[in-house]
Amino acid sequence: MQRSYKIGYFVTNNIQHIPPVIALYPYIGGVVFTDNRWVYKHLVTKYAELNIPVVYKTMRRQLQREILRQRIRVMLYPSYHTLYFGKAVQIFHGGLSDKTYVESLLILLYDLVLFPGEKTRDKVARSDYLKRIPEWKIVGYPKFDPLINGSLYAAPLFQNTRKTILYAPTWLSQKRPYVSKVVSFSSYGESSLELWALDIIRELSRRFNVCIKYHSRIYREPGDIYDQVDALIKELDVSEYVKVARDDNILPYMARANLMISDMSTACYEWFHFDRPIVFANPSPEHYKRSDDISSNTYAWQAGDVINAKEDILKFVRKNLARDEYREIRNRIFRYAVFQPDGRATERQARAITDFYERYEHVPYVWLMITTFAVHKWRRLIIVVRNRYYRLLKKEKIGR
């Protein structure tokens, strides 16, 4: 019989944060808290058979009251958010990618951080934050466990004998003034979607199946790239060979593909597990180059050819399907990024969480809530002050 732990998960604004919860729930139980209607509906429909308790409230202060009412002691976060009450554990929904979010000051909000591998830990260490995290462990990547243990179901994507190319771009930034200050690398942010999606369809749909797996963070506007993709599929009459997918877990789509095209997403590292060739679509050829620096957002690009021009698309796909020249370096990077892909990562993660939980199990509940709230608020204040200081320092340097 599963022991009852007073554990909560906070999932907000992104269904791709759900798989870590689904992996852990059978081991440690708990309650999911969300302020996002889409997340709530996805959980209670796709995963209805698990009967996971879900609390949906539109206001975070309402969720905080629910945490207290249900006497939750430890909160798990698959993203950089916090509800302040209870001990906070960062479990990552990805955590493998080369994007700089891993090295965010927000990682200092958490009492325990569970890393998927050495690379993520080293990136945080290089940013000088690792020594400021109260506790951390490397446990592996639980999302791979169903794949390794043979329980991942992958339905056929296409009813033909063509090879399948999976295109998995990272999320496209909202076109708002504040976003351009955060994602200033290029006019396309870190996503290749606007630059390459239509050309990928045109170049590949005559010879291959193409599955476009969007990131779940989609901000729709009339006539945007998503509408353009749909219109092009209809115009070329290739719906039999080009399909669009939006889901919380990309692994079933990867399982059916022969080659993947991506950019700077965690999906690149997830694809490495399949030991199949990858081609990278450069979101900004004038800005981005391949790098062997782990702090670079193109570190993974060592493992494949990089599309910088329309002519590269078909050329590199054909080349890599015929001969996998990057296999050795791809596997080396994968071993560095993912700790022990042996099908037991969820067990290690669950054990780390329950061991941590048991240390605070008998602390008087009111005292635990008062102290954790105060500590987390204090950490948030420090982060805000530091961020403002760094921005002022940057402006001063630019002014010189």
Domain range summary for the chain, segments of one domain joined by +: 7-141+341-390, 164-337
- CA 177/CA 336 separation, integer angstroms: 37
- Looking up tokens 């000088």 gives 128
**248 in Cβ contact with 267 (< 8 Å):** no
- 7-141+341-390 against 164-337: fold identical: yes
* Predicted pLDDT at 57: 96
247 Rama class: left (phi>0) / alpha (psi -120 to 50) / beta: beta
Please classify residue 108 by burial: count the beta carbons closer than 10 Å to its beta carbon, then call 0-12 exposed, 13-18 middle and 19+ buried: middle
Q: What is the pLDDT of residue 312?
A: 97
Q: What is the pLDDT of residue 153?
A: 81
Residue 154's pLDDT is 78
Q: What pLDDT score was predicted for residue 185?
A: 52
pLDDT of amino acid 181: 40
Within 8 A by CB and 6+ apart from 274, the residues are 254, 255
Contacts of 34 (CB under 8 A, 6+ apart): 10, 11, 12, 40, 43, 54, 55, 56, 63
- Per-10-residue mean pLDDT of the chain, 400 residues long, equals 82 89 94 95 92 95 97 96 96 85 89 96 93 96 91 86 94 49 55 92 96 74 82 95 89 94 91 97 90 92 96 97 97 96 96 97 97 96 82 54
Query: What is the C-alpha separation between 347 and 328, in angstroms, rounded?
Result: 29
pLDDT at residue number 390: 65
Task: Name the amino acid, one letter, at 123.
Answer: K
Distance of CA 195 to the CA centre of its chain: 22
Determine contact, residues 52/26, Cβ cutoff 8 Å: no
Classified by CATH at the fold level, domain 164-337 comes out as Rossmann fold (3.40.50)
Q: Alpha-carbon distance 136 to 115, whole Å? A: 7
The tokens 């309650």 sit on which residue? 31
Q: What CATH code is assigned to 7-141+341-390? A: 3.40.50
Q: What is the C-alpha separation between 117 and 92, in angstroms, rounded?
A: 12
Q: Bridge-partner residues for 246, per DSSP?
A: 214
Give residue 248's pLDDT: 83
Residue type, 253: Y
Length of the chain: 400
Question: Bridge-partner residues for 76, per DSSP?
Answer: 9, 89
Give the pLDDT confidence score for residue 393 in this predicted structure: 57
